[in-house]
Structure 1
Amino acid sequence: MIYEIRVYEAAEGRADAMRRRFRDHVVTQFFPRHSIELLGVFTAPVEDGRLTYMTRFADEDARKKAWASFAADPAWVAVKAASETDGPLLKNQTVSVLSPAVAGLPLG
């Protein structure tokens, strides 16, 4: 198994719209369709315009295939375009791919 942590930083004034799109479309429609297993979604205790989430994949090949199919999904392209008529929702994103450090060690 490999894990991925993504941190999305919203464009100025767009944090609510970014989170709505993630909640209403990405999590419910596109992650299941593209075999992206969502483990958790997080925000900071003090609003900072970021959304952080963690996913899990069987291996690196599965991760790459899942994200490639997600990005090429015509329905996603349409949702993204419709949600960005007033400009992009994301200012920046950071992606970290992680492997367990010690096999068999529980996560928490």
Structure 2
Amino acid sequence: MIYEMRVYEAVPGRLPDIVKRFETKTLAIWEKHGIKQAGFFTTMVGDHSQHLTYFLAWESLADREKKWGTFMADPEWHAARAETEKNGPIVARVSNQLLAPTAFSSVK
């Protein structure tokens, strides 16, 4: 398994909109494409109170490329994104990292 950590920096004041989009729209579309989430987090204490951080679990880089590509091309995703951004952008910046668990990690 490999894991992807993605961090969404919200446009100021729009973090609740990002969280709502994942909860009510994105997760169902991911399920359709076989994308597995491994956790979602907001910053409780620290410098990044406008960040949503989440992890995705992939079987391999090829698995990620295939499933993420079909998700990004899905008209349902494009419609959901357009609907949730009708009052302007909600995401200022996205960063991601692909991570491999160490031999001693509790997550494999």
| Residue of structure 2 in register with 1:6 after alignment | 6
Cα drift, residue 101 of structure 1 = 2.2
Q: Which residue of 2 aligns with 1:83?
A: 84
Q: Name stretches of at least 5 consecutive residues in structure 2 with no aligned partner.
A: none
How far residue 50 of structure 1 moved from its aligned partner, in angstroms, is 0.8
2:57: which partner in 1?
56
**1:1-108 to 2 correspondence within 5 Å?**
1-27=1-27, 29-46=28-45, 48-102=49-103, 105-107=105-107
Deviation sequence 1:8-47 (CA, Å, 0-9, x none): 01112211111100111112x1111111111111111147
Q: Which amino acid aligns with 2:25?
A: H
TM-superposed CA distance for 1:106, in Å, is 2.5
Measured in 1, the distance between the counterparts of 2:69 and 2:35 equals 11
If the length of structure 2 is used for normalisation, what is the TM-score? 0.90
Gaps spanning 5+ residues in structure 1: where? none
In the superposition, the TM-score normalised over structure 1's length comes to 0.90
C-alpha distance in 1, partners of 2:49/2:8? 11
Which secondary structure state, in structure 2, belongs to the residue aligned with residue 53 of structure 1? strand
Runs of 4+ aligned residues of structure 1 deviating over 2 Å after TM superposition are: 104-108
Quote the Cα distance in structure 2 between the aligned partners of 1:73 and 1:63. Answer: 15
Aligned mates of 1:91, 1:75 — CA distance in 2: 22
SS of the residue corresponding to residue 49 of structure 2 reads: coil
CA–CA separation in structure 1 for the residues paired with 2:101 and 2:32: 26
Q: Give, in whole Å, the separation in 2 of the partners of 1:13 and 1:45.
A: 16
How many pairs are equivalent? Answer: 106
